[in-house]
Amino acid sequence: MSTKKHPLSNQSVSGADKIVQILADQGVDTLFGYSGGAILPVFDAVFRFNQINKHLDGSDALPMVVPANEQGAGFMASGYARASGKPGVVIVTSGPGATNCVTPIRDAMADSIPMIIISGQVSTGAIGTDAFQEAPVNSLMGSIAKHVFLITDPEKLEATVRTAFFIASSGRPGPVVIDIPKDIQNHVSLFEEDSLLDLSGYKDRIEKISKNKISEAQCSEFYDILKDSKKPLIYAGGGSIHANISEELKALCENLNIPIVTTLMGIGIISTEHKNCLNMLGMHGTAYANYAIDDCDVLIAVGSRFDDRVAGDPPEFAPKAKKIIHFDIDPSEINKVKGVDFYFLGDIKQAIADLDQYHNEHNLGLDFSAWLKECQDNKNKYAMNYDRNSSLIQPYAVIEKINALTKGNAIISTGVGQHQMWAAQYASFHRPRLWLTSGSMGTMGFGLPAAIGAQFARPDALVIDIDGDGSIRMNIGELETASSYNLPIKILLLNNLGDGMVMQWQRMFYQSRMSASDKSLRKKDFIKTAQADGFDLALRVTENKELDSALKQFIEHKGPAFLEVLIDPEASVLPMVPPGQSYKHMVTGDFIPNRYKESDKEVNSSAMF
């Protein structure tokens, strides 16, 4: 046991100093935040901490990354967390500082991303008086965060901050908000080295689930189901990324020759180029992934939640599956959308490893090679495709060329819209945590700040934000943040002069009435904007013949780079399953074969977006 004395042991220090020291103790190496009156004590404590604690190269031990606004800080912390697997930390002031974080907090909660948000608050005596820059953070955030603390007792400050990290990372991860009045930040008292709040009920539930191991009887039951199967299919979601089960899942797939499909959030759990991988399923999934869902007789859901973008018509989802198996950490997801025949709640990383070991030790000899070959044949027959002879630049081609340069090893973030789906469909990812996107919330403006956060988490990685002209506008002020910190991120703007996904729906379901979505008359010059914000390399491509050389220059540039590509304004995201419909209604267009007759049934224009 280490006997090294804590640097603040038996010292009387301010609450702000305690907060900063605990952040360092938790292994935090980057902070994202914007200052203001109610959080000044903490910002001052960060400054003083960094004066004393320097790295050997002279850099700050706890660098503070300052964005253009607090929403940017939230998404930077989210990008950091998604790329690293560690909680991202945001520090903001009261009132508008906190409320500007509402969207990133909800976004993180929806995608199960661990984050710590520390917000300043007016002094305890002024709470409830509509004081300057006061906002009811506890009430506002309570319904969108995993947990919210309002600290009114200075003696509970340390325990609360430490406990927040435990809550954010345990069980199903999520964002935890700590609202700290200014007088609590200034309160001086002795530093406690290891205090925690008593969360016995929560801890008991979490420990019971996390310590749950799959039994011999459960392993036997699992394989009894597979023995009666001809066409099992693994359906992996974002929970598989959080559980770090890439190697275990890959081994199970390979040993049994079971194909695997992934959700939008599960992309990268197995290499997108692996022979067993059928890529993304769902509304904009590959045709062959959706056909595998239609054909499978056993569906094995791993860290996935049967959301509406996957199971648009739940009774018709996996219609031939005689059995559904579900592995998860969250009890609320079991039987929520689809009834299951077998489930396991607990450490799914160990469970998948134990299942693979059980198969090998008992010489079960299960092999689904014939089914895997059928899926591989479908992958060739119903491959992703587009008009490769068009005189207009096709967005799919741009991403294919990016693949040729990055070899599937780049971290790619996106905004939300068509460009997001094109990246999900056409980009290659050889391992987890390379794909960063706003899934459940679908938040435009996510891509650029998330890329910044990811670059801080992985300074040696190639980080690319694939964005759209509508989405990037939302947080375009963060261009300056990227250049100010001289981050070598690459921003690829696929510009179709409008809100492309909305326009696609308007063409398909609203008789091409482009209400408020056509931005062809907007005056934004993105190249001048990037240059004004300090980008040395800012290029625009308008013709196919310019694309190869521009992309090469863009990727190889040592500093931040910006590339705008004017794409076909009517390029669509295909395949597409209309909302609320089964995969039999999947529209694949002119260049992807469709084994079903494409439905000419008009979708109700009031259907869920």
Query: With 90 as the cut, is the pLDDT of residue 604 above it?
Result: no
Query: With 50 as the cut, is the pLDDT of residue 602 above it?
Result: no
Token pair for 113? 């991303």
Please give the pLDDT value at position 350.
96
Please give the pLDDT value at position 491.
98
- Is 212-381 the same fold as 12-209? yes
Query: With 80 as the cut, is the pLDDT of residue 3 above it?
Result: no
Query: With 80 as the cut, is the pLDDT of residue 365 above it?
Result: yes
| % of residues, the chain, pLDDT over 90 | 94
Please give the pLDDT value at position 2.
54
119 three-class SS: strand
Domain spanning 212-381: which CATH class is it, in words?
Answer: alpha beta
Distances from the Cα of 570 to the Cαs of 133, 288, 499, 545, in angstroms?
A: 45, 24, 11, 20
The structure tokens 């965060």 sit at 145
Query: What are the φ and ψ backbone dihedral angles of 252, each rounded to 5 degrees?
Result: -65, -45
Structure confidence at residue 505 as a pLDDT band (50, 70, 90): very high
The structure tokens 């044949």 sit at 377
Residues 269-294 have pLDDT tens digits of: 999 999 999 999 999 999 999 999 99
Average pLDDT over residues 33-48: 98
Average pLDDT over residues 240-266: 98
Token pair for 549? 């050389």
Domain boundaries of the chain, sorted by first residue: 12-209, 212-381, 395-566
Structure confidence at residue 598 as a pLDDT band (50, 70, 90): low
pTM of the full structure = 0.96
Query: With 50 as the cut, is the pLDDT of residue 601 above it?
Result: no
Average pLDDT over residues 499-515: 95
Please give the pLDDT value at position 5.
80
Please give the pLDDT value at position 7.
84
Average pLDDT over residues 159-179: 97
Residues 173-187 have pLDDT tens digits of: 999 999 999 999 999
Architecture of domain 12-209: 3-Layer(aba) Sandwich (3.40)
Structure confidence at residue 4 as a pLDDT band (50, 70, 90): confident
Residues 509-536 have pLDDT tens digits of: 999 999 999 999 899 999 999 999 999 9
Structure confidence at residue 9 as a pLDDT band (50, 70, 90): confident
- Quick one: angle between helices 395-406 and 547-556, nearest 10? 40
Please give the pLDDT value at position 605.
45
With beta carbons less than 8 A apart as the criterion, state whether 250 and 232 touch: no
Residues 200-232 have pLDDT tens digits of: 999 999 999 999 999 999 999 999 999 999 999
Q: Which fold has domain 395-566?
A: Rossmann fold (3.40.50)
Please give the pLDDT value at position 1.
47
Instruction: Count other C-beta atoms under 10 Å from residue 129's C-beta.
Output: 9
Vertex 295: Cα angle to 289 and 300 (nearest 5):
75
Query: With 60 as the cut, is the pLDDT of residue 431 above it?
Result: yes
Catalytic machinery residues: 70, 132-133, 182, 501
Query: With 80 as the cut, is the pLDDT of residue 609 above it?
Result: no
Alpha helices in 341-499 (DSSP H): 348-361, 369-381, 395-406, 418-426, 447-457, 469-474, 478-484
- Lowest mean pLDDT of 31-35, 57-61, 239-243, name the range: 57-61
**Cβ-count burial of 403 within 10 angstroms (0-12 exposed, 13-18 middle, 19+ buried)?**
middle
Query: With 90 as the cut, is the pLDDT of residue 541 above it?
Result: yes
